[in-house]
Structure 1
Amino acid sequence: MGFKDSNDSMVAIQLTVDLKPVFPREAERMEQCKGRAFALQDEPEVSTIRLPFDDAPGLEMATTFGGFCLREYGVISIPEFSHRLLTDIDQFIVLVSNGLKISILYLFH
């Protein structure tokens, strides 16, 4: 979301959290389901969920409508919702999803 601060400068804030295996809450759920959440040595910044018995390419998201082969290993399709009241200083919001391949820019003014 973009808004103007007291100096009339544009400020951007992220309203949501990416649900990825790198976050402890997500990794813990997957490990409880016998999945493995880890990053490879050559890509330490990219944590993925992998099958318990195979190092085949993993899935970089913990919540998705797809990823059916990893459902029993902790990948879920339950979305997170948030609520925010808009104010006069709010200027625009950008909605993006890597799963649905959509990008929408919504201008308030």
Structure 2
Amino acid sequence: MGLCMSTNRPSSSNDNSEPNSVNDLSRVQAPSASTNCLIGSSISCRYAYVSQRGYYPDEPNKANQDAFNIVRDYLSDGSWFFGVFDGHGKEGDLCAQFAKRNLANTMGRACK
């Protein structure tokens, strides 16, 4: 997850890392524009996300291990919940998705 991306790579790079091509963009998830929100009655912010699935040459269809969750009017008091979950390892995608589905509600119950 991140705030920006570049499709350009320094031309002087001689390493054997990920190739840079239009096909690499298929691993990127991002909205077409940012979103404005009002938190409470006085805080205005804008948010967006960018997520790029890791490069796995031997597993081109490996799931993205990043997830996020945005909950408007969290706790019914005008607050917002923003969560970013970065999975790792063999089941990292499942862990990130589990956190996405459950963390906001679990924390919300603890806050009441």
TM-score range, shorter chain: under 0.3
Q: Going by fraction, where is helix more abundant, 1 or 2?
A: 2
TM-score of the superposed pair, with normalisation by structure 1: 0.25
Structure with more contact order per residue of length (Cα contacts < 8 Å, sep ≥ 6): 1
